[in-house]
Amino acid sequence: MMRSVDAYILTARSREELLRRNAIFESFFEAEAPRLAEACHEMSRRFLAGGRLLAFGNASAATDAEHVSVEFVHPVIVGKRALPALDLGADFEARLPVVLRPEDMVMGFSFPEADEAVERTLRVARERGAMTFALTGEAGEYSFAPPDGDAFVIQEAFEVLYHLLWETVHVYFEHREQGHDVGASSFLYPFLGKGEQQLEGVVEEVQGSMLQKMAEVNAMRAMVAETEVGAISEIAAAVAGRLDRGGKIIAFGNGGSATDANDLVADCVTPPEGFEPVPAVSLSAEPANITAIANDVGVEAIFLRQLIAHARPEDVAVGISTSGGSPNILSALAEARKRGLLTIGIVGYDGGKIVSERLTDHTVVVRSDYVPRIQEVQASVYHVLRGLIEELRER
């Protein structure tokens, strides 16, 4: 049990860390919205011409390449088309020259500062006619300076950035194809829904919509700072206690949440400068195991089977889910509780079955029904949690 003074300090620290991000996001996206709107215009042209989005990064930034790939290939909005995107993996510098086509778009991730291999690869792509994004760095046609000195905050801002690119590119190529009818995007961008407009006017309107979406992220983060900081502080203390007993973190999630599980583990095992490594594994980072179990047993067992192999009673199971109802997450958490692990859920919507069936010892709920915004705030949650764990272990 935490002493009341410790609980107060951790809760205050959680709230402070969550809220300080809002001014950073506001400043960054107010400055970058015009460029992002123009970039989406060009991306729509390239996708319609057969271009692909190729993403890569080193260390923790590699998980953003994974996230970009799944976001574009497997859209979360029903009825949206699958767009070709690839995570080039750890050997991106060798792979890109082989697979690149001039019509492609290339996105290189590195933070908190530029990475030489990422910069070299972006320069190759740009020389061969590809559209290039540097996050961070200077080698891209669209290069973005870090909005803050904190690697976690930089990564969170870039996640919002590529979510906005994904959302907006659909608007542009639907506008190009249909003239004025934006179909399934109308609820996201109602200003496009009726009369035909010049594309230049659409660019201006999209800038405003991007800023509105940034404001939604900030509002949701502020809500979490009021309603969930007690849970976050309790989780930090409980996890630190398990780690002190020799335990490890076992994280898992599906799709975009899989990349979040991978990122949380990367932040533990290869953390930013000034942090000490923490033992952790991601069950979402094992494609051979996942496909073998899915094929031979069933999708619902892909995390359960791995957890049985890896779990020890002193460990921590962290299930990340936007819905809170994925059967493979539920079964793994239920098994973890049977085995005495500390169980944690980081979820969206109303918490789903993870909350209603009380499958976790502690749960943080980001109350929204829109997946990209949920994921963006969940990233803030587990980054703040990682920082608190570090502080506790330093005492």
Q: What is the pLDDT of residues 51-99, one digit of tens each?
A: 999 999 988 999 999 999 999 999 766 567 899 999 999 999 999 999 9
Q: Do domains 20-222 and 228-394 have the same CATH topology?
A: yes
52 near 85, Cβ under 8 Å? yes
Please tell me the distance from the alpha carbon of residue 95 to that of residue 108, in angstroms, as a whole number: 13
How confident is the prediction for the chain on average, in pLDDT? 91
Q: Tens digit of pLDDT for each residue in 113-161?
A: 999 999 999 999 999 999 999 999 999 999 999 999 999 999 999 999 9
Asked if omega into 102 is within 30° of 0 (cis), the reply is no
Which amino acid, one-letter code, is at 364? V
Helix (H, G, I), strand (E, B) or coil at 364: strand
* CATH of region 20-222: 3.40.50.10490
Residue 182 has a pLDDT of 43
Residue 175 has a pLDDT of 67
Q: Tens digit of pLDDT for each residue in 6-16?
A: 888 999 999 99
Closest of 367, 341, 111, 28 to residue 231, by C-alpha: 367
Domains of the chain, residue spans: 20-222, 228-394
The DSSP 8-state label assigned to residue 271 in this structure reads P
Please tell me the distance from the alpha carbon of residue 243 to that of residue 342, in angstroms, as a whole number: 11
Which amino acid, one-letter code, is at 29? F
Question: How much is the average pLDDT of 342-355?
Answer: 97
Q: Tens digit of pLDDT for each residue in 296-322?
A: 999 999 999 999 999 999 999 999 999
Which amino acid, one-letter code, is at 273? E
Q: Where are the alpha helices (DSSP H) in the chain?
A: 4-48, 62-73, 92-99, 116-127, 151-178, 199-227, 229-244, 256-269, 287-296, 304-310, 327-338, 352-356, 371-394
Tokens of 135: 């996050």
Task: Write phi, then psi, for 317 (nearest 5 degrees).
Answer: -100, 125
Tokens of 87: 């995570």
Q: Tens digit of pLDDT for each residue in 218-264?
A: 999 999 999 999 999 999 999 999 999 999 999 999 999 999 999 99
Residue 201 has a pLDDT of 66
Token pair 């919507």 in the structure block, residue: 349
Question: How much is the average pLDDT of 377-382?
Answer: 98
Helix (H, G, I), strand (E, B) or coil at 199: helix
228-394: which CATH topology? Rossmann fold (3.40.50)
- The gap from C-alpha 352 to its chain's centroid, in whole angstroms, comes to 20
